[in-house]
Chain A
Amino acid sequence: MSDKRLTLKKRLHILKHHYRDSKWAPAFNALHTFLYTPDETTHGRGTHVKAADDLKRTMNTVIMALVPCLLFGMFNAGYQHYSAINGYPENFSLFEHFLTWDNFWLGAITVLPLVIVSYGVGLAIEFLFAVIKGHEVEEGYLVTGMLVPLIIPVDTPLWMLAVAVAFGVVIGKEVFGGTGMNILNPALTIRAFLFFAYPTWMSGDKVWVHGAVDRTGTADAISGETVLGYLAQGNTAEMAQKFDVADMFFGFIPGSVGETSTLLILLGGLFLIFSKIASWRIMVSAVIGSLAMGLIFNWVVDMGWIAEYSKFYSLMSFEYWKHLIVGGLAFGIVYMATDPVTGSQTNRGKWIYGFLIGFLSVMIRVFNPAYPEGVFLAILLMNVFAPTIDHYVIRGNIRRRFKRWQNAKIYPRISEEKQALKAETV
């Protein structure tokens, strides 16, 4: 049979045998299993049938939940850019002002390179490690690679992103043994690297709106302060004039690429809960945690314990539930806190873990003097504590078993009994 008459399936099958045991096998298999689920069958022992989903499907579901955020982020990048230049429209109309070709085009040429660099560098390192260490290319980076462009400012230079991704994948994941073994969320490790390595770039009022950096110092200079940025500086009135609650909820505000639209994040979260891919326990308790901290701050302000000229006043008096619709809190709760590898693994632990993430996020957000946001720091911190939380939850189970054991009915061995009987008769 000539090669031309072979189907793609057959040809790939032949190639698989060709590459078997060679060092390129992991790289080839990654491409092959991307096109076709393998012909692997269950072993002779153990279950002979398996459930329908695998890790690829799981990761793919998270990516599907992220796509609306990505598309919105593209439109928003253009919208924020043109609005900053021309002034925010008085009577905002979704179709006239937001969903326009100009906005999308500008967004696409600024956001897509971020996506390409993120996937390109990250997957290259994953493939490299897979080939060197001879393990399969695992799917973890598919989600990380999508998360990264969504949680960084739109004007992040591509080389910075490339360096950060390389750092995050190697130090955040591969040194621990790859997908499933890491302690810190890789996407947040990348974000944290950017934050600590290039602090002047990653904060302030310039990076959040495309073009603001280029125009600095020129006559056309524009400001792209985020809602939290305004509050940190005490410009509450100016912020309120520019953005209302609807803007914040629907996402027509400056911020990291994909994290501004609370509505789409909410829908993504509901989809993930419905599909049972992400833990609803973590999401619900993180929301409760952030509301609790917000209420405490509001209460402190109500009690008059903090003066109006204090630099924390604006953020502390910000209504407690609004914390959920600005900044990266909602995005972090839905897509990052629920990472099953770095989060708590027991159901009770998930409640504690989620609550503390919400609680600490708002706390850090208010008290962080350098940068008015705290979700990623809170999640990274709780990533470190997640095993401890699980440890104490599991101790409870072990203690229960230990208590039961104290009443155990242990009968002597029959041989021992016979020996004792013999001894007595003698």
Chain B
Amino acid sequence: MSKDIRIKKGLNINLVGAAEQTTSKAVTSNVYALNLEDFHGITPKMLIKEGAEVKAGEPIFFNKKIEEMLFVSPVSGELVEIVRGARRRILTIKILADKEQRYLTHDKIDLKKADADEIRTALLKSGCWPFIKQRPYDIVANPDLVPKAIFISGYTTAPLAADVDYVLRGKEKEVQAAIDALSKLTPGTIHVSVGNTSTSPFSKIEGITLHKVSGPHPAGLVGTQINKIDPINKGEVVWTIAPQDLIIMGEWLLTGKFNAERTVALAGSAVKSPKYYTTKIGAEISTFLYASGVDLKKFRLINGDVLTGYKVRPDGYLGFYNNTVTAIPEGDDYEFFGWNKPVFNKISPTRALTFSWLKPNKKYDLDTNTNGEHRAFVVTGLYEQVFPFDIYPLQLLKACMVKDLDEMEQLGLYEVAPEDFALTEFVCISKQPHQKIIREGLDLLYQEIG
């Protein structure tokens, strides 16, 4: 059964440098790393010390607050370094990989017979649990809470992001296994959304409710789909999981091996020949970045897409949740009278001497310049044009800024994640950091109300 969701509000950001749909195998990385920034709000407690040997899939740390939640090594090798920051906070855990990979194997689970409790325990033990995220708060799911539904977005609208259909091709068996397991963990439905013209591998998967989505970005964001299908109310919990993570989870369920392999799109205008690479979670980005060629001296490398990713250095590591790496030119230059010249080479939601509305399908080569300075909120009505939720974005942002918990609850903070505010941040004339404001608001609400 499929249902149609049509999104009218939004903005497509067409950028040059989309990844070509060919996949190469990336050079094997020497060192793999887990970036603790990826696990928002998790306090790690180490299980092994520097110098210890680990197998792929062996736990290296757990969540101090929920002890059964384990985080495992993506590869086998020696734990060479624990990079710490201020107040000895762990930033990165580095593992020097073996030439021959050894896997920690678990007993296979009989998906038909296993009950919810068994599957939950198994997933927590496997290291696959952190792939499941929870809303409200956009954090790793709390295994003690029962979700009313699980949402998976099989549709990409974010600029230059990896195409889900392409990444999932040929992995139907794994996806089906993961869906079978997840469906036992919720009394509700598993909602999967795909593009309305796509031939998604999800159309062959059983046990899901398929939705067909059309419209501009953020139609592909899972938050938009939740809001249109079954919005979150206070007290409710939903889970989200990214399609590429279903593959790893499914493979673990079928074989008992934690295989952190992933197809990653390397995209962006700074890359000479953007395409897909197979590599592993935590691999050094340089292992596939330079194979595609980079023709700029100053470029920004982003773990994720240009709207929601975070900056890494070329010797950085692929993030735990990312299947896109983007490289765009750095824009640290002045522009003479840039604020009143007619603009042809940038995207704008207004028509104030900006001409991107003339060619909606033109592809742009945007750099990281902010095109203006940070200001107080002045212009109104602009966010609503790109924000398809039944939420007042400006008012919610202001409630978060003044830390008014009542207002934050009432205006719908439970329903959003920072990524849902990426487009409003993009169009913001006052250059306010919307995603940061929402993240801080969510953290405060979690801390105060939980």
Residue-wise interface mask of B (381-411) relative to A, using a CB-CB cutoff of 8 A (1 in contact, 0 not): 1101000001110110000000000000011
Interface positions of A from 176 to 211, Cβ below 8 Å from B: 177-181
Contact A60 B340, beta carbon cutoff 8 Å: yes
Tell me how many residues of A have a C-beta within 8 Å of chain B: 69
A contact residues around B354 at 8 Å (CB): 52-53, 57
A52 and B334 in contact, given A57-B372, A138-B376, A408-B236 (Cβ under 8 angstroms): no
Q: Which of B83-91, B130-138, B191-199, B301-309 contacts A (4 or more CB under 8 A)?
A: B301-309
CB nearest neighbor in A for B427: A51
Tell whether, in the assembled complex, residue B371 and residue A37 are in contact, meaning their CB atoms are under 8 Å apart. yes
Known: A138-B375, A401-B410. A49 touches B13 (CB 8 A): yes
Q: Which residues of B have CB within 8 Å of A180?
A: 375-378, 430
Given contacts A401-B412, A408-B234, contact A277 B339 (CB under 8 A): no
B307, B391, B431: the one contacting A54 at CB < 8 Å is: B431
Binds B, one of A101-109, A221-229, A235-243, A412-420: A412-420
User: Once the chains are docked, how many angstroms separate the CA of A51 from the CA of B426?
Assistant: 6
Cross-chain contact A51 with B349 (CB below 8 angstroms): yes
CB-contact partner of A37 in B13, B236, B338, B356, under 8 A: B338
Q: Is A5 an interface residue (CB 8 A)?
A: no
Q: How far is the CB of A380 from chain B (nearest CB, A)?
A: 19
User: Are B373 and A60 closer than 8 Å at their CB atoms?
Assistant: no
Chain B contacts of A47 at CB under 8 A?
306-308, 422, 425-426, 435
Dominant secondary structure of chain A at its interface with chain B: loop
For the complex, give the distance between the alpha carbons of A411 and B149 in Å: 11
Contact A48 B378 (CB under 8 A): no
- Which A residues are in CB contact (< 8 Å) with B148? 409-411
- Assess the B371–A50 pair: CB atoms within 8 A: yes
Say yes or no: B144 contacts A44, CB within 8 Å: no
Interface string of B102-134 (1 = CB under 8 A from A): 000000000000000000100000000000000
The 8 Å CB contact of B144, one of A13, A39, A415, is A415
| Segment touching B, from A122-130, A307-315, A345-353 | A345-353
Known: A181-B376, A415-B144. A277 touches B330 (CB 8 A): no
A274 on interface, CB distance cutoff 8 Å: yes
Which of A49, A343, A347 meets B366, CB within 8 Å? A49
Total interface residues on B, using CB and 8 Å? Answer: 87
- A41 to B370, Cβ gap below 8 A? yes
CA gap between A139 and B372 in the complex, in Å:
12
User: B332 — which chain A residues lie within 8 A by C-beta?
Assistant: 39-41
Q: Do the beta carbons of A39 and B334 come within 8 Å of each other?
A: yes
Q: Does B434 contact A (CB under 8 A)?
A: yes
List, in ascending order, chain A residues with CB within 8 A of B334's CB. Answer: 9, 12-13, 36-39
| CB-CB nearest in chain B for A32 | B334
> A55-B372, A276-B352, A409-B148 known; A400 and B435 CB under 8 Å?
no
Q: Does A279 interact with chain B (Cβ within 8 Å)?
A: yes
Minimum CB–CB distance from B324 to chain A (whole Å) comes to: 12
User: Contact between B347 and A55 (Cβ–Cβ < 8 Å)?
Assistant: no
Q: Kindly state whether residue A61 has any CB partner on chain B within 8 Å.
A: yes
Complex alpha-carbon distance, A315 and B369, angstroms: 55
Q: Contact between B370 and A42 (Cβ–Cβ < 8 Å)?
A: yes
Query: Is A46 part of the binding interface, using a Cβ–Cβ cutoff of 8 Å?
Result: yes
Task: Judge if B64 is at the interface, Cβ distance under 8 Å.
Answer: no
3 closest Cβ pairs, A-B complex: A54-B372, A180-B376, A37-B338
Sample of 5 more A-B contacts, CB < 8 Å, known A37-B339, A38-B373, A397-B412: A9-B334, A42-B370, A43-B311, A49-B15, A401-B410
